Structure 1
Amino acid sequence: MAENKMAKEIVKGKVAKSKIARAQNANGGLWFEIKRQLVHVLLGLLVLISALKDRESTLWFLLVLILIGVLLSLLQLKFRFALVESLLRKFEREKYRKRFPFKGALFFLTGCLLVLKIFSFDIALASIAILTFSDSVSHVIGLYGKRKNPLNTTKNIEGAFAGFVAGTIAGAFFVPFALAL
């Protein structure tokens, strides 16, 4: 209830009215999108910390998680388990919940597995950090943005810039700043 009041006040203040209203109406509110992005950041941090401790074990762990996730996604499409559905309702967008449950998490984990396997360790860690932070920050800040991105009119300049800054800072923890750019 409080998030609806906050969102209404923001909308009345004409701060990115259409995007916030869309986020509020599409999936259960602004808080829903913020929760999704917090899970995204926590998942990324978990992968980073795990990889820093033991890269090889992390590769196996990611592979097992991906396989379990794909299996669970397929089973969920067929049987609609109540417990899994309740979890998905909290964090998954409705359109993916019905067509491809766990899509975002599976793609994220697959990307992490691939970069850890293919690239040098520092580049892989920087890539995961950049994805983790730039994606989440750009999405949340983008809800408040006003200037349309000429390359993609569903996005805005403020979100893209915030994501760029967050990703650069995150990547710079693992590679030189110039490379993180």
Structure 2
Amino acid sequence: MQPDAQQPNQPRPVDTAMLRRVCGHFVTGVTVITSGSGTQAAGTTVNSFTSVSLDPPLVLICLHNDSRLRPVVEGTGAYVVNFLSAQQEVLARKFAAKATASLRDVAHRPSATGTPVLDDALGFLSCRVVSATEVGDHTIFVSEVVDMGMPTRFEQPLVFFRGALRALQEAR
């Protein structure tokens, strides 16, 4: 073996900027996670959501450990996953920014857990937290779905692809 030859199984340090670019090629849906109630109600835009199990009905979300919503979810023990339509890009951007994240100007109603459901969401899942695990710089919340709904009209979903929000048919 040559002394300068790279070992095929030797891991190299991960370039986080490159990791972000590579993961950007994975299309994800866009959600606003809402939690709390009254003046404590809050929301944030999240694309780290997935279904875990149908029986029992479990889903998970990941929130950054510094997220303004993390302590609200921990205190409430519940949240709503609001799926956004392509027409809700402005709403996604609103809840992605710290300074503009407020439910005061957004039509919503209480879910079965008391946490807010956005009125114009493409669909929603009301969830109770089953477990929370800190991993890296995020907390993974695994939760049981206790209520759900979707409108009768069909709309294109809002997706995130290559660092941009767009309608599904534009994600080429």
The answer, yes or no, to whether TM exceeds 0.5 is no
TM-score under structure 1 normalisation?
0.24
Q: Structure with the greater relative contact order (CA < 8 A, sep ≥ 6): 1 or 2? A: 2
The structure in which a higher percent of residues are strand is 2
The structure in which a higher percent of residues are helix is 1
